[in-house]
Amino acid sequence: MNKKGILLVNLGSPRSTAVNDVKEYLDEFLMDERVIDYRWIFRALLVRGIILKTRPAQSAEAYKTVWTEEGSPLIVITEKIQKKLQKLVDVPVEIGMRYAEPSIETGIQKLVDQGVSEIVLFPLYPQYAMSTTETVVEKAEEVRKKKFPQIKINYIQPFYNRDIYINCLAESIKEKLPENFDALQFSYHGVPERHIYKTDPTKTCNLNDCCSRDENPSHQFCYRHQCYKTTQLVIEKLNLPKEKTIVSFQSRLGKDKWIEPYTDETLETIGKKGIKNLAIVCPAFVSDCLETLEEISVEGKEQFLHGGGENFHYIPCLNDEDRWIEVVKTLCEEKLNDFYLV
């Protein structure tokens, strides 16, 4: 019988806060054609000719504010998830990162070294996007075909609307939500608008009107719709009035049009509109990282307070909460069982 294993894949992180390490990481990340989807020559001119001249030093300073004694928060948390999951399943569990180390190839190699020939690969992103789930699958397939043609990989699909995930997320938020809050803001990572259209093979997406529809062929590929759906399901579970919630998108890069509304602009203005006590959560991430610990809980807090807000409460990601590990276990076991059906 073929031996099975699990590979958990997250975004990745620089190996240290040294400028050269951050530069190496950003080069691999930003040169991915599914992150900055320009032709290679234009992407190289932008990334290596402009961005990498100044951004690594700035990012290195930002990483220093979130780095722990154990290392990068994202790597450390993913390792904790792996160790907890390993105690609950009887197949090997390894981790891989889309960028930097431990790479997807490294993770697959560790499983192969343990005799694994059938892998359940779990991209740790609730919603589907070209720059997250899609690039993980494409990279894994590239590595498999080149280095491990004998293995099979079963991919876990986006779980943004799965009951077990929504219940888990809602319970986590409920426990951390302050008693007195004027609004709960859901801040998702942003993507350029063109990415939404490029990932839609049905060609039925229209950002002006289809995200709010109950059904549309593009929904299984539409990141923006999936963010709004996650939000809708969570606030229904929490029994919150819609007018007490906000959806926004963070981390935009460059001058292209990204999906709106923007988190930073929202934080700068809502205080003047009467929202003085804000809670904010980032459900595009399952693990806290630079984009949550620095961009939101530090920079975002400053923007909100400067804009007239009074109390800012960041709600951490699911990280290695036991209830989240149970969700990971369930989703992995579903795909492990799929191998028996082939």
Which residues 6+ apart lie within 8 Å of 110 measured at CB?
Answer: 92, 94
Q: Rounded to an integer, what distance in angstroms lies between the CA atom of residue 229 and that of residue 218?
A: 13
Element (H, E) at 65: helix 52-66
Q: Rounded to an integer, what distance in angstroms lies between the CA atom of residue 247 and that of residue 37?
A: 25
Q: Are 130 and 226 in contact (CB under 8 A)?
A: no
Q: Are 56 and 22 in contact (CB under 8 A)?
A: yes
- Residue 225: burial class (beta carbons within 10 Å; 0-12, 13-18, 19+): buried
Q: Are 308 and 271 in contact (CB under 8 A)?
A: yes
Binding residues for Fe(2+): 189, 291
Binding residues: 189, 291
Amino acid at 273: K
Amino acid at 168: C
Q: Are 158 and 226 in contact (CB under 8 A)?
A: yes
Helix, strand and coil percent figures for the chain, each rounded to 5: 50, 15, 35
Q: Rounded to an integer, what distance in angstroms lies between the CA atom of residue 247 and that of residue 250?
A: 10
Three-state helix/strand/coil letters over 193-223: HHHHHHCCCCCCCCCCCCCCCCCCHHHHCCH
Q: Is 73 helix (H, G, I), strand (E, B) or coil?
A: helix
Element (H, E) at 128: none
Q: Rounded to an integer, what distance in angstroms lies between the CA atom of residue 116 and that of residue 89?
A: 14
Q: Are 99 and 82 in contact (CB under 8 A)?
A: no
